[in-house]
Amino acid sequence: MNILLVLPSLLIGGAEVFAVRLANKLAERNHRVFLLMLSPDVQSDLLAERVFPQVRIVNFREKLSLGQTILFKTLYTLTQRHVAWYEKVLFERKKIKAKKLSDFLEKFCREENIHAINSHLSLADWSVAHYFWVKPRKQKFIVSMHGCYNRKERQTEQLLQRLERNNDKVFQAVDHIVLLTPKNAIPLQNVSLKNAPLYIPLGFEKPSSLPLKKSSEYDMTFGLVSRAVERKGWEEAIMATIQVRNAGVNCRLMLVGAGEYQERLMEKFGHLDFIQFVGASAQVLNWVNQFDLGLFTSYIESESYPNTVIEYLACGKPVIGTDIGEVKNMISTPDGQLAGQLLTYDPLGISVEELADCLLRYAREEKLLQEHSTLAEDAFRKFDMNQCVAAYEAIYQS
Segment 146-202, tens digit of pLDDT: 877 776 555 566 666 777 888 889 999 999 999 988 888 888 988 999 999 999 989
Using one digit for the tens of pLDDT, what is the confidence trace for 18-59? 999 999 999 999 999 999 999 888 888 889 999 999 999 999
| Structure-derived torsion over alpha carbons of residues 61, 62, 66, 67, reported in degrees to the nearest 10 | -170
User: Which region holds residue 104: left if phi is over 0, alpha if psi is between -120 and 50, else beta?
Assistant: alpha
> For residue 60, what pLDDT is reported?
94
> For residue 166, what pLDDT is reported?
81
> For residue 154, what pLDDT is reported?
52
> For residue 76, what pLDDT is reported?
65
H-only helix segments in 113-178: 122-134, 157-173
pLDDT at 80 over 80: no
Q: In what order do the strands lie in the sheet with 293-296?
A: 275-279, 251-256, 220-225, 293-296, 319-322, 340-343
> Which CATH superfamily includes the segment(s) 220-380?
Glycogen Phosphorylase B; (3.40.50.2000)
Fold match between domain 2-203+384-397 and domain 220-380: yes
Enter the DSSP assignment of 338: B
> Can you give the C-alpha Rg of the chain in angstroms?
22
What kind of fold does domain 2-203+384-397 have according to CATH? Rossmann fold (3.40.50)
Asked which of 51-60, 82-91, 111-120 is least confident by mean pLDDT, the reply is: 82-91
pLDDT at 374 over 90: yes
What is the arithmetic mean of pLDDT over 266-275? 96
Q: Is the pTM of this model over 0.75?
A: yes
Using one digit for the tens of pLDDT, what is the confidence trace for 350-371? 999 999 999 999 999 999 999 9
Q: Would you place residue 297 in the very low, low, confident or very high pLDDT band (cuts 50, 70, 90)?
A: very high
Taking alpha carbons only, the member of 319, 265, 257 closest to residue 282 is 257
Q: Would you place residue 79 in the very low, low, confident or very high pLDDT band (cuts 50, 70, 90)?
A: confident
- The residue ranges of every structural domain in the chain are 2-203+384-397, 220-380
Q: What's the mean per-residue pLDDT of the chain?
A: 91
81-86 LR contacts (CB < 8 Å, sep 24+): 83/156, 83/158, 84/158
